[in-house]
A and B are shown apart, each in its own frame.
Chain A
Amino acid sequence: QQQPAARASSQEALGRPKSPSREREGPLEKLLPLRDGKTFRAEGGLKPPAPNHIRSSRVSLRCCDPGSSPGSADGYMKKTVLGRGKINTPSLDGSCKSEEDVCALGKETQEGAQDGSEWEALDAEWSAAIRYEYHVLYSSSYQTPVLYFRASALDGRPLSLEEMWDNVHPSYRRRLLHSPWDTITQQLNYIVSWLSVVGPMVGLEIPLSYATVASKPERTAAR
């Protein structure tokens, strides 16, 4: 059993990937073949790769299954974060909100900000410790990186779907529910770009230091 870190948000080392039989440059190398057949390397520090023409790629976002390895993958990155959030008392039957209720959650966010006297109550409500686990894998089925995430209380109980949505920032809820997830950008550093888009939606913050710019930024085309 791991000891939770004292700080509200701590970061464990990125996991060691299982690399295919290609030459290794560093301990955290991850190879990502592109659709046009060219490859590039991304180190654990997520520095930008050598300039290559990078096509936009599909991204997907899915929840971790405790017993299943998510598809076949060669490279692998993992991060665990402790955060603060809202957890309900677990219910016996494990019931969760329907899709209509979750849409209503999105509408709730349009209400005005609470006045001062209610901040304390809110603060208490949002002070539960939640353990987020993020895995980034390359999915050979989709030929794209996939972000898997899992959230649990400190006792290991996984968060329900309703609790997950409660902890998604309101400005992201509607976007997640209604916007298509097709593609992002053609920036050179597409892993960082992609992670910086999908990550915050599920509580994964990408520090600015990850985005070291090595060359002139190209025109971005977001769909």
Chain B
Amino acid sequence: MADDKDVLRDVWFGRIPTCFTLYQDEITEREAEPFYLLLPRVSYLPLVTDKVRKHFQKVMKPDDVGEMWFEYEGTPLKWHYPIGLLFDLYASNTTLPWSIFVHFKNFPQQDLLHCPSNSVIEAHFMSSIKEADALKHKGAVVNEMQKKDHKQLWMGLQNDKFDQFWAMNRKLMEYPTEEGGFRYIPFRIYQVTSNRPFIQKLFRPVASDGCPHTLGDLLKEVFPAAIPQNDGQKKYQVMIHGIEPMLETPIQWLSEHLSYPDNFLHISIIPAPSD
């Protein structure tokens, strides 16, 4: 039986093979070759795509290189969503590598936030961590940390340093033994066809009778359609980090082991493949 700590490593080191192709409307001085890269599931696009920009800048005039943005099958990719979430949501049942188009002009202001520097990503990342801790511990753990501790979380993510990150993150995963879990579970459920960006609600990991709540309990509460009916017909896949955890999995365990570095469980609900 795999140690629980192995799960933390498997999540952190998950990668998605990706092919970046320059969008045909971009103006180049010579032909641009596609660029291949293994993207970390737990990180954010602008943090890991400097090489992509440099690669395409080589064949373009500086004046034609505006802010880089990415698109998959016509959908601009929100950089403030973790990469693994974007893949699970839009491309999980397609053949690898993931094919993404690269743009340097016509930035879609209605769909995407600008990302002028890494400090913007850091601010967004820390904001998510703080919100998650507000849910788990009323913010007590984050508030007790010093500024250098916050920096350590960010630097761990930025530099892909699992040990550095988890040395600090483990504090955010603690809870009073008598409580049996966090106060509320930080989670967000995403669905491409929905008009809301995501579903986020208050949900306790332990019932009033002391029984641990499962992933199935969470879905029953906030997305009952995702629970397969008795006739065995599965309409949806419930995906986290590219896998479908069993509905009997305790949600507290999922929160401790399958959260993204921002301490949220980002869950994708996608149509089940009809093969």
Contacts and interface: CB of A to CB of B under 8 A. Distances in A.
Interface residues of A, number: 25
A157 B109 contact: yes
B113 A65 contact: yes
Given A67-B78, A94-B114, A99 B131 contact: no
A71 interface: yes
Interface hub of B112, B198, B200 (most chain A Cβ within 10 A): B200
Interface in B179-201: 186, 196-201
Nearest to B202: A140
B134 interface: yes
17 contacts: A65-B80, A66-B111, A66-B113, A67-B78, A67-B111, A67-B197, A68-B80, A69-B198, A72-B199, A92-B63, A94-B67, A98-B117, A141-B131, A141-B134, A141-B135, A143-B134, A156-B109
Interface of A: 58, 62, 65-69, 71-72, 92-96, 98-99, 140-143, 156-158, 160-161
Contacts of A160: 114, 116
Interface of B: 63, 66-67, 78, 80, 107, 109-114, 116-117, 119, 127, 131, 134-135, 139, 186, 196-202
A69 B117 CA distance: 23
A68 B197 contact: yes
A160 B135 CA distance: 31
A222 to B, nearest CB: 19
B131 A94 contact: no
B131 A142 contact: yes
B67 A72 contact: no
B44 to A, nearest CB: 14
A67 B196 CA distance: 9
A71 B200 contact: yes
Interface hub of A71, A141, A142 (most chain B Cβ within 10 A): A141
A153 to B, nearest CB: 11
Contacts of B114: 94, 158, 160
A66 B110 contact: yes
A98 B114 CA distance: 15
Nearest to A71: B200
A195 to B, nearest CB: 21
Interface hub of B119, B127, B134, B186 (most chain A Cβ within 10 A): B134
